[in-house]
Amino acid sequence: MATEAAIKSLIPHARFGQGRMVTITVSRGETLRVSVSVEGSEPWSVSDHQVPHWERRVKERIRLGVLEVLDKAYNLSPSPWGTLTGVRPTKLVHALLDEGLVLSQIKHELQETYALKPEKADLLVDVAKRQRPFFHPSPNDPVSIYVGIPFCPTRCSYCSFAAYPLESHGHLVKDFLQALRLEIRAVGEFLRELHLKVETIYLGGGTPTTIAGSDLAELLGLIGTELRSDLAAEYTVEAGRPETLSLETLSILKDAGVGRISINPQSMHDDTLKAIGRQHTVDDVHKAFGLARAVGIPIINMDIILGLPGEELAHVEHTLKEVSP
């Protein structure tokens, strides 16, 4: 999977099972050695000594090697973000800080292991430095809860998450919700036993608002009973697909105490939405936003994606104007 992800990060429409062979060799003794080659080109290899996280480093090295050999074999222009595609890069920086690395070591790691350009490494470190003062001294109390709903109306072409379209996986929703309710009750009991407070709750996915009606009301009610505390500072539901936001659904969210939702158009161009596998239109985005405001959802954020197929700067400028107040 690391190989396929690395290839698709460079060549999104790559097909497998034909064309030039990519060969990967991994050996581990006192050192870790990873070699990557593409048929007809010079191989790339690297050795690591005393690596603390062997499994993670193998994946990192495979991704880096694939990027290096494909760049040379096909004369590609590598991303300034190197192998950090489909991830939250500041999370990596904070993990390295937690391991005790100093900023200069982290910048070196970002460039040497993940192939970031120096300016992007500097940017990540600067953002992490600004975020760090807002972290709690202890990561264990209070805590944050993430509830994942892995279903969507359709699967977007760019998606890297565990998300399954209702058309092919909708028959699993009932059993999934039953298992999720059991887990929420178990986690609630665990929190009470350890006297832990929940500061933030986030429902993500997938698209949580594919769950509707009484199922959604029951789920949010259980979360309120088992997980919410008087310390709760944020309760967010990712309502990313506007076609899922009926007046009933939004009213259920408001009545459950949800204070923030995400309505994510990604682009405000119908041709782009169709090309990336979205099921909604630009007009659907406007309607969903208007309903959310009418119901009284206090905070609404909207995600967009840059670099979508066929889009240029003018498309992005138009999208920004459309989603601006």
Give CA–CA dist 189/174, Å, rounded.
23
Backbone angles phi, psi at 107, to 5 degrees: -60, -40
By C-alpha distance, which of 172, 166, 143 is closest to 154? 166
Peptide bond between residue 86 and the one before it cis (omega within 30 degrees of 0)? no
Whole-number Å distance between alpha carbons of 242 and 280? 7
For residue 270 the two structure tokens come to: 């119908």
Task: Please give the structure tokens belonging to residue 140.
Answer: 């264990």
Helices (runs of H) and strands (runs of E) counted in the chain: 12, 10
- Name the 3-class secondary structure at 304: strand
* pLDDT value of residue 49: 83
The helix/strand/coil state of 127 is helix
In this predicted structure, what is the pLDDT of residue 214? Answer: 97
Residue with tokens 């405000």: 268
H or E stretch including 182? helix 173-194
Residue-level pLDDT, tens digit, the chain, 325 residues: 567 766 776 677 778 888 888 889 999 888 889 999 998 888 999 998 877 778 888 888 988 998 899 888 888 887 899 888 766 889 999 999 988 999 999 999 999 999 999 999 999 999 999 999 988 877 778 899 999 999 999 988 888 788 899 999 999 999 999 999 999 999 999 999 999 999 999 999 899 999 999 999 999 999 999 998 877 789 999 999 999 999 999 999 999 999 999 999 999 999 999 999 998 999 999 999 999 999 999 999 999 999 898 999 999 999 999 998 7
CA distance 268 to 263: 12
Q: Tell me: domain 143-323, CATH 3.20.20.70, correct?
A: yes
pLDDT of residue 70: 87
pTM reported for the whole predicted model? 0.71
CA neighbor of 318 nearest in space, from 259, 268, 282, 271 = 268
Q: Across the beta sheet with 198-205, what order do the strands follow?
A: 143-149, 198-205, 234-238, 260-262, 299-301
In the chain, beta strands by DSSP E: 22-28, 31-38, 44-49, 143-149, 151-152, 164-165, 198-205, 234-238, 260-262, 299-301
Reply yes or no: is the peptide bond before residue 142 cis, omega within 30 of 0.
yes
How far is C-alpha 95 from the geometric centre of its chain's CA atoms? 17
What distance in Å separates the CA atoms of residue 311 and residue 316, rounded to the nearest whole number?
Answer: 7
Q: How far apart are CA 96 and CA 129, in angstroms?
A: 12
Pairing verdict, β 22-28 and 164-165: unpaired
Distance of alpha carbon 165 from alpha carbon 150, whole angstroms: 9
pLDDT confidence of residue 37: 92
Q: Which pLDDT score, from 0 to 100, does residue 9 have?
A: 67
Token readout for 243 is 């076609």
**Domain ranges for the chain:** 1-78, 85-135, 143-323
